[in-house]
Structure 1
Amino acid sequence: MSWSCTWATKFRVAALAMLILGMTWQPMDAARLERDMVVVRVIVPAHERAEARLSPYGPGYEQELLAAFLDFTGREAAYRFMDDPNQALLALENGEADLAVGFSFALGQRRGPNNIDSPVQAGPVYATYTPAVIARGEEPDQEQGGNGWFTREPDAVACTDPALTESLSQGVGWENQFVQACQAMDLASALDGVEGEEFALAVVDEDGFRLWQPFYQELHVEAQGEEEVALRWFWRGDREILALQLDTFWADQEVQELAQELDERYFGFLPSEPNISELEHILATMTTEVDQYADVIAREAANNGMDPLLITAVIYRESRFRADARSHTGVRGLMQLTSSTASMLGVSDRLDPEQSIQGGSAYLRMIWDELEEFGLDPWERWCFTLAGYNQGPGNLRRAIRLAQNAGGEGKTWNELRQAYLRMNSGCRGREAVRFVDSVRYYYYILHGLVVLSRPEAQHLAALVQD
């Protein structure tokens, strides 16, 4: 993303506004002034909701937001990592840090920097999520409804945020003494503990759990909290220059748009209700089918400068790795090529696995190359490429024009998604959106299997060798 004007210009405008409003700077010594202008001491979660090691889509939601702020101000960051938001706020109040990024508090709680004497200020809410109780085994009978599943306090509970547990406890009748005894830890450790039966339950961010659920299929959402949790940044108001910059940053419309784009990038592909049978099928397919095609996929990925796991995800979405797959629309083979596309690419037999992979990979690369003129961010460009693969380059360009005619630049997947949904052939437009989101989801899962060294990853080894 590019800023419409420099941070210095915006800072001068904000400073002028302070003078107009009669606000004044507090005197500072030279050393403090120099530090206040350059270095910001930042507390960040040790484990993000969209953990960077799992995601192939970027360094992480909070990392990208923070990088935008540092670019916006020309500052440098000195980092400190912790997961407990209470400890983060305490560190801010004690002057051990200047800014805490990506921490949450239930919107209705009387917690956080609400004390008039506290030097800590809360930024605007830029995202919300729902706390959830995670359990092992069979999912509860939904007809029971509500929180009636909890007839007694479990023996041991893991939680990623003590505030979430306290909020949920009111609905299930847990005592405060029990809540205080909950063991705080990062999300992966909490899920490991429930899977290994070290803990009966875990209280976590539901969206965060959805990102991990493909790798913990024995776990499920047992219950959801009734109170949303808000993500904000917190900072010390007595760091006057920093506070002014943060106020200016969050008031910028481009920052609001960036937050929406990042939410879409890191969470937008998640299904609202995960299909456990499908997740099981993905893992089984990686175990039984990929080996026979791995060399061809790796070769064509190298020939076309693409990630072999992405090609694998497209094949799974198109044919579930059935070489003889046929559709009523006339497409055929592993990568479901039309007869006209196959002819253009020199594919004589669409049902031949090697030819199908060769042709489908070349087609993806062709669409990618045709998008060069639009100057797209690489991640957005891949979403556009996948949409073009599904609906054809002609419909892709039509959707870009629709997005531009609606007042946008036609350069983000968010814009293109809405354009596809507005196209006259609405069903086909919705199919393009479903296709892109499905491939993103499968690609994310395959990447996670490799990163986490899950058993299925050994069958992907030939694809990801250096």
Structure 2
Amino acid sequence: MRFYFVNPFKTLMLLFAAVFFVVVSGSLIIKGFTWRTQWDQIVDRNEIIVAVRESEGIYWPVGQEISGFERGILEEIETQLGISISTFAVRNLDDLYQALEVGAVDMAITGTSNPSDLFQKSLPYYVTSLGIVRKKNTDFETGDELVAGILDPLAHALPAQQLKSQYPNLEIQYEPGRLSAELMTLVDIGSLDLILLDERDFHLQQTVFPDLLFFPIESPSRDIRILFHSNHDGTLLSKVNNTIKSIQDSGLMVQMIDRYFGHAGEFDFVDNRTFERHMASRLPRYRAWFEQYAEQNNLDWRLLAAVAYQESHWRANAVSPTGVRGIMMVTQATAKDMGISNRSDPQQSIDAGSRYLSRLIDRVPEQITEPDRTWFALAAYNVGAGHVEDARKITEIEGGNPNIWIDVRKSLPKLALKSYYPWTTYGYARGNEPVVYVGNIRQYYEKMKKAFPKEGDSIQPDRLDQLPEAEVPIFQGL
């Protein structure tokens, strides 16, 4: 048997070297996995992958473009971060949550108020409330057998269970892929007794479903936020938060909210029903002329028709106490300027009104962009371009932005106040009238767009099932 002398110092050094090697190797391995942040990886591929709920007002194909409030936010994120965004539309929110969980997308937008702690969340970009939607003149007793539908299986699950404690015989149904409009249709035809819905979704569809009412069930209001995987390192989240804050601080968020939801702010049940009847009975007589003259003057015929409805309810022989007359309520001066001889002739009136509106749009200062440009022109059609300019001047003097409608519409009513006369060129005007006027036309225009969608092939958004295999890492630095 042989014995070997063991040098303690040498052994200690060898042991130290071995430990050092293990530590360094382990560190390198770990660094190999954590070296790049989520944002680094996004920059490498030059793309942020987003899943978003496909729904009107959020992300929705309109003609040859995708429209919606969240679509606008994504455009701002893309612009401010300088990174291309690939957006995949989702109707089944189960799929959206799963795509985020497995790392198939970098972030997800439901457009619903989601208090769940399963995901990291951005700063809030919108505030709404959760409630039940049911038909008018219906009431529920505690023991009634009821069927309730929900839109979001995660955000609405707990409130649905709380509602069930109030109505023990309540059956809760969730059918993947249902749009908010579909759920409201089911309530309207009696297939569902009620649905859980955010107030924002309700208002976007309200004019189509005048027999439905919204009743909030939670207080305080809920925030709407962008969702991120719970294990992400926060580098993308931080940049998105900075963008949201920038949009809010600049006032752009308020403009976007007005653009996409301003028409839904006021709703007149009786007027809405009257409009629908007139759309069926009166509009067909004049539609061809609206289309003809709108095309000649680079206008949307549905907007032109909405203006005519506000002016005369599509009555060719309408006459106001001030002497304006016809379907477009043309003044004598405008008729002379436009070269028409009979203001009560609907074709001549629509011809003159379309040219006059187009001229007003062209006269709006070039720094004012759409859709505000159109709202300014409509206000001028009602109260005169000079008074609109006076309101813009007041807006600027008081620190507002004279180039956005949401600021100027606050100043228009001040044209009726003597204290503001020194600031104006054209003096007194009933400035509240153009505010109501533009608001009404925006509602009629939205109704017209739904009733008469533009012809031609519509663009189709990329669907979630078109995603490649999940490639976006869900663990920090993986």
CA displacement, residues 300-333 of structure 1 (integer Å, 9 cap, x when unaligned): 1122111111111011111111122122233222
Where structure 1 has 5 or more consecutive residues not aligned to the other structure, the ranges are 1-25, 114-119, 141-147, 454-466
Where structure 2 has 5 or more consecutive residues not aligned to the other structure, the ranges are 1-32, 418-427, 456-478
**TM-aligned CA distance change 1:395 to 1:31, over 3 Å:** closer
TM-superposed CA distance for 1:60, in Å, is 0.6
TM-score by length of 1: 0.78
Q: Which amino acid aligns with 1:130?
A: S
The corresponding residue for 2:142 is 151
Out of 404, 407, 416, the position equivalent to 1:412 is 404
Find the residue that maps to 2:443 and give its secondary structure. Answer: helix
- How do 1:8-407 and structure 2 match up within 5 A? 27-29=34-36, 33-37=40-44, 38-50=46-58, 52-53=60-61, 59-82=67-90, 88-89=96-97, 91-105=99-113, 111-113=116-118, 120-136=119-135, 138-140=136-138, 149-152=140-143, 154-162=145-153, 163-164=155-156, 166-167=158-159, 170=162, 173-174=165-166, 181-183=173-175, 185-217=178-210, 219-221=211-213, 223-227=215-219, 228-236=221-229, 238-252=232-246, 257-272=251-266, 274-371=267-364, 373-407=365-399
Q: Which amino acid aligns with 1:151?
A: T
**TM-aligned CA distance change 1:291 to 1:253, over 3 Å:** closer
TM-score by length of 2: 0.76
TM-superposed CA distance for 1:197, in Å, is 2.8
CA displacement, residues 176-212 of structure 1 (integer Å, 9 cap, x when unaligned): 9957654453212212322333222222223322322
Q: Contact between 2:50 and 2:87, CA under 8 Å: does it hold in 1?
A: yes
**TM-aligned CA distance change 1:83 to 1:298, over 3 Å:** closer
Please give the alpha-carbon distance, in whole angstroms, between the structure 1 residues aligned to 2:127 and 2:373: 28
Q: Percent identity?
A: 23
Please give the alpha-carbon distance, in whole angstroms, between the structure 2 residues aligned to 1:235 and 1:105: 15
**TM-aligned CA distance change 1:300 to 1:79, over 3 Å:** closer
**TM-aligned CA distance change 1:42 to 1:435, over 3 Å:** same
Please give the alpha-carbon distance, in whole angstroms, between the structure 1 residues aligned to 2:137 and 2:299: 39
Q: Which amino acid aligns with 1:160?
A: L
Find the residue that maps to 2:190 and give its secondary structure. Answer: coil
Out of 430, 443, 446, the position equivalent to 2:445 is 443
Larger Rg belongs to? 2
**TM-aligned CA distance change 1:41 to 1:230, over 3 Å:** same
The corresponding residue for 1:18 is none
Q: Which amino acid aligns with 2:381?
A: Y
Q: Which amino acid aligns with 1:385?
A: A
Please give the alpha-carbon distance, in whole angstroms, between the structure 2 residues aligned to 1:418 and 1:99: 37
Q: Which amino acid aligns with 1:267?
A: F
**TM-aligned CA distance change 1:235 to 1:215, over 3 Å:** same
Out of 409, 420, 430, the position equivalent to 1:428 is 430
**TM-aligned CA distance change 1:430 to 1:211, over 3 Å:** same
Please give the alpha-carbon distance, in whole angstroms, between the structure 2 residues aligned to 1:391 and 1:327: 14
**TM-aligned CA distance change 1:359 to 1:56, over 3 Å:** farther
Q: Which amino acid aligns with 1:71?
A: T
